[in-house]
Amino acid sequence: MKFLVMPGDGIGPEIVPVAVAALKALDDRLGLGISLEEVPIGFASLASAGNTFPDEALAKAGDSDGVIMGPTDTLAYPPLEEGGRGPSAFMRKGLDLYANLRPSRTMRGVAAPIPQMDLVIARENTEGFYADRSMYKGSGEMMVTEDVAISLRKITRAASEKIAHASFKLARQRRKKVTIVSKRNVLKMTDGLFYDTVQSVAQEYPDVEVEDVIVDAMAALLVRRPESFDVVCLTNMFGDILSDLASELAGGLGLGGTINAGDAHVMAQAAHGSAPDIAGQDIANPTAMVLSLAMMLDWIAAREQDNKLKEAGHLLTTAVDAQLADPATRTRDLGGTLGCRAFGAALVKRLEGSA
C-alpha cells in the first residue's frame, strides 16, 4: 500500500512528520505493508519547480492509495499565472475528492465551550462559490469594472447526489440522522436543486432520519443544541464556514481532523491553516493532522474491507484520546507542556504499547 506525503507550508513540515511517525509505528505493530514517498508542494516546490503544486504531485497522488497533505498558505501564494496553484483545489478537482468530511466531537480532558458534541460535517467539495472550482476554463469571479465584482456559483445534481450518498452511508455507521442545510428560501434555484437532490437520495435510505435546517438557523442551533446533530450535509462554502464553527465549539481547530474523499482516492488534511506565525517554533499541535490520518485509515479500511487498517485507525484514535485526556501529554495550547516533537514521541510510545 502506497501513501504519498506532502508536507506543505508553515507548520506543515512539523506536524506531518508526527503523523508519519505514528503511521510507521502502526505499520511495525500490525504489518500493514505501507510504503511512503514524499513530494514537495507549496513554497518548497515554488522555489524548486516554479509553482506551488507541480504536475508530478497530482500524478503521484493518483497512483497512491492515500495522501497525507500538510496545511498550505494559499493566501500568500502568487497569482496563478505566476505559479500560485492551490494544492487542495487541484487535488479535489483532479481526483474528484467530492466529500470533505470534518468531525467535531468533545474530548475528555479538553476544554470546550459546549458540554457535548459528536457530529460530522459532510461538505460538498468540488463546486459551489469557489472561484477555482466553478468553471471548466477561467475563474468563477470577474471584475466587470474596477468598482464591480461578480462571483458565479455552480450547483449540479451529480455533485449533490455524490455528497448525499456519502452523508447517508456515513449516517448508517453512526446514529442514523442526516441534517440537510441550505439557504433554499432565498437561493431557490441553486440551493433548491441541492435540497431536492439530497431529499431524493434520502428515499434510498429509509432507515435514516432526515432533518431540514436553513443555514443561518443552523449557526445558532450549533451553539444551542449541538448534541442533537449527527451528519450534516451542506454545499461547499456553507460547509467550510460551519465546520470551523463546529470545530471551535468542540475545543478548537487544532483538533479538527479532515479527509477529502472520492470513490477511488482519499486525502488526509487537517482542517486548520498553516499558522506561519508559529512555524519552526516546535509549539504546533499535531492532533488534527494525526486524527486526519486515522480517518483516512478508516475510510480505506471500509472501502477495501481491510480489518488491519480498521484496527490501525481505531488504535490511532484511541491513542490520541488517551494522550489528550492526560495533562502531562498535551501540547501547550491545551494546557500541557509538550512541544510538537515531544507530543509525537509520546504518541509513538503509546502506539508501541510502552506508554
**Which CATH number belongs to the domain containing residue 122 in this structure?**
3.40.718.10
Residues 125 and 230 grouped into a single domain = yes
How many other CB atoms are there within 10 angstroms of residue 307's CB atom? 10
Give CA–CA dist 182/165, Å, rounded. 17
- Residue 261 domain-assigned? no
Residues 326 and 227 grouped into a single domain = no
pLDDT interval class at 133 (50, 70, 90): confident
Query: Is 321 labeled as catalytic in the residue annotation?
Result: no
Residues 209 and 287 grouped into a single domain = no
- Residue 257 domain-assigned? no
Residues 141 and 245 grouped into a single domain = yes
Alpha helices in 225-338 (DSSP H): 236-250, 287-304, 307-325
How many whole angstroms from its chain centre is CA 166? 14
pLDDT interval class at 355 (50, 70, 90): low
- Residue 302 domain-assigned? yes
Name the grid cell of 156.
Answer: 449540479
- Residue 269 domain-assigned? no
- Residue 207 domain-assigned? yes
Identify the active-site residue in 73, 240, 298, 308.
240
Residues 196 and 287 grouped into a single domain = no
Number of domains in the chain: 2
pLDDT interval class at 354 (50, 70, 90): low
Kindly report the pTM of this predicted structure. 0.92
- Residue 259 domain-assigned? no
Identify the active-site residue in 28, 63, 212, 216.
216
* Beta-carbon contacts of residue 123 (< 8 Å; ≥ 6 apart): 99, 100, 101, 102, 163, 234, 235, 236, 238, 239, 240, 243
Query: Is 244 labeled as catalytic in the residue annotation?
Result: yes
Write down the pLDDT at residue 130: 80
Domain boundary among 230, 250, 270: 250
Q: What is the pLDDT of residues 261-280, one digit of tens each?
A: 999 999 999 989 999 999 99
Domain boundary among 234, 250, 266: 250
- How much is the average pLDDT of 301-306? 93
**Domain containing residue 3:** 1-100+283-355
Identify the active-site residue in 183, 191, 195, 205.
183
- How much is the average pLDDT of 81-103? 93
Residues 129 and 238 grouped into a single domain = yes
Query: Is 130 labeled as catalytic in the residue annotation?
Result: yes
Q: What is the pLDDT of residues 16-74, one digit of tens each?
A: 999 999 999 999 999 999 999 999 999 999 999 999 999 999 999 999 999 999 999 99
Domain boundary among 227, 250, 273: 250
Identify the active-site residue in 73, 77, 98, 130.
130
Averaged pLDDT of the chain: 94
Residues 233 and 334 grouped into a single domain = no
Please classify residue 336 by burial: count the beta carbons closer than 10 Å to its beta carbon, then call 0-12 exposed, 13-18 middle and 19+ buried: buried
Identify the active-site residue in 244, 282, 306, 333.
244
* 226 has a pLDDT exceeding 70: yes
